[in-house]
Amino acid sequence: MASEFKSAYVASKHGIVGFTKTLALEGAPLGITCNAICPGYVKTPLVEKQIADQAKAHNLSESEVISKVMLYKQAVKEFVSVESLGQLALFLASEQANTLTGASIPVDGGWNAQ
């Protein structure tokens, strides 16, 4: 999804989606799948720093940054867990996902559903 003030970041993510589709087509004859996991905000050290920086820049509390900025557009008002992303990656690497290829899978608390 596009996001204001993040043109380079968004462009790189859109490029990854196209790259994923190309690899899926090229890998299919060899039994190789390729999918993109597209997470929303994950509470990593980088995001924690962004929360603190946004709070200072906009004179907001850190909880306001989380609720009014980061998770505002998400239906599920919580960060994506590292564990859920790991479980999805394991599924995608399993035999049960052998025909799932070329997909961009949003794991974003419903932000993409807007």
Q: Which of 1, 3, 7, 9 is catalytic?
A: 9
Active site residue 72: no
Cα distance between residue 60 and residue 64, in whole Å:
6
Cα distance between residue 111 and residue 65, in whole Å:
16
Which helix (H) or strand (E) element contains residue 24? helix 7-27
Q: Which residues are catalytic?
A: 9
